Amino acid sequence: MIGDLMKHVPLIVLMVLVVAACNLTDKFKKTSNSNSTTTSSSGNPSKIGDDPVEQPAPTAAQTAALANGQSVKWDQQGITWTLPAGWKKQSVTNDIFNYGSGDGAFLIVSISPMAPDFPTDISLKAFHEGAKVREKNGQVDELKWLDLDGVRGVEFRESKPQMADDIRRLQWMTYRKFAGQTQLVNFILSGRGDNFTKHQDELYAILFSTKLVR
DSSP helix/strand/coil, 199: helix
HSE, CB side, 13 Å, CA atoms: give it for residue 214.
13
DSSP 72-98: EEETTTTEEEEE-TT-EEEEE-SSEEE
* pTM recorded for the entire structure: 0.82
Looking at residue 45, its pLDDT comes to 76
In a domain, 41, yes or no: no
Q: In whole angstroms, give the CA distance from residue 172 to residue 176.
A: 13
70: domain CATH number?
3.40.1000.10
In a domain, 12, yes or no: yes
In a domain, 10, yes or no: yes
Looking at residue 213, its pLDDT comes to 85
Taking the mean position of all CA atoms in its chain, how far away is CA 82? 16
Indicate the number of domains in the chain.
1
Digit-by-digit pLDDT tens for the chain (214 residues) are 444 444 444 444 444 444 444 444 454 444 443 333 334 444 567 899 899 999 999 999 999 999 999 999 999 999 999 999 999 999 999 999 999 999 999 999 999 999 999 999 999 999 999 999 999 999 999 999 999 999 999 999 999 999 999 999 999 999 999 999 999 999 999 999 989 999 999 999 999 999 998 7
In a domain, 43, yes or no: no
In a domain, 52, yes or no: yes
DSSP 102-166: SSS-EEEEEEEEE-TT--HHHHHHHHHHHHHHHHHTTSEEEEEEEEETTEEEEEEEEPPPSSTTS
In a domain, 64, yes or no: yes
In a domain, 189, yes or no: yes
Looking at residue 43, its pLDDT comes to 52
Q: In whole angstroms, give the CA distance from residue 131 to residue 171.
A: 10
DSSP single-letter state for residue 214: -
| Angle (nearest 5°) at CA 174 between 13 and 176 | 125
79: containing domain? 2-32+48-212
In a domain, 156, yes or no: yes
